[in-house]
Structure 1
């Protein structure tokens, strides 16, 4: 098999989440960002596994565009792990090139949100909303526990 091995893919995915935490931990939206990215990555990994299963059984497949969209919207760590885990989509060159392209674009979009001055109002809005959600949840839990 060419490409990344499973231990390297896992290391990169774990490193990504650790880096994402270290960059965002001071923001109130950090837990929401980490959980949502983790969930879409997990869903992407599962969908890759289901697609591999469908390929073996000659059943209807998941369209490649769907796999690329999942990677683009933050699921690329799950796809990165799924490819060597299931030995799926590791050799088909157009797919591999598009996968890495969507990964780069996903990272650029997230980097723009986190570091771009023009997007500072969006970051502030997310932080305010996340703080309000956290306070609402805490208030609800306090009410339930009485």
Structure 2
């Protein structure tokens, strides 16, 4: 394992999160979006760690489908960091190819949602919902 893989993975994840912030910063829902991606990434990273530990102990493993599902749901930055961090699932084919496909699909879907004219109504709806949650939390905290 090359020593440069972990800093590179962290850099790619950071660039992705900055790009996500930049694309969604004008919407009320952006803190929820960044929080969801961050939480999914943390859960995915932990699942990779638990799977690596289970592999070393020859215990029950996390199914690869689960790892891919978490990645495509938005947790791929955590998976990207976990792979070199735990030295896990870095060379195994076809896992690596499927992993990079989940990165492209997840990023493409989220980018399309944030950029395409056809999804403007959905973004507006999500903005209203986020605004209502924000007001609810503010009222709850001020009471």
TM-score, normalisation: structure 1: 0.94
Aligned position for 2:122 = 122
The whole-number CA distance in structure 2 between the counterparts of 1:77 and 1:106 is 11
The whole-number CA distance in structure 1 between the counterparts of 2:23 and 2:109 is 15
Aligned position for 1:132 = 132
Task: Give structure 2 stretches of 5+ with no counterpart.
Answer: none
Aligned position for 1:51 = 51
Q: How does 1:1-146 map to 2 (within 5 A)?
A: 1=1, 5-143=5-143
The whole-number CA distance in structure 2 between the counterparts of 1:16 and 1:132 is 28
The whole-number CA distance in structure 1 between the counterparts of 2:56 and 2:81 is 19
Task: Give structure 1 stretches of 5+ with no counterpart.
Answer: none
The whole-number CA distance in structure 2 between the counterparts of 1:90 and 1:117 is 37
The whole-number CA distance in structure 2 between the counterparts of 1:45 and 1:13 is 12
Question: Any idea what SS the aligned residue of 2:94 has?
Answer: helix
Question: Any idea what SS the aligned residue of 1:93 has?
Answer: coil
1:98 Cα deviation (Å)?
0.1
TM-score, normalisation: structure 2: 0.96
Deviations 1:8-38 (A, max 9, x none): 0011111111111111111000000000110
Higher mean C-alpha displacement, 17-26 vs 39-48: 17-26
The whole-number CA distance in structure 1 between the counterparts of 2:26 and 2:120 is 15
The two structures, once aligned, show a CA RMSD in angstroms of 1.3
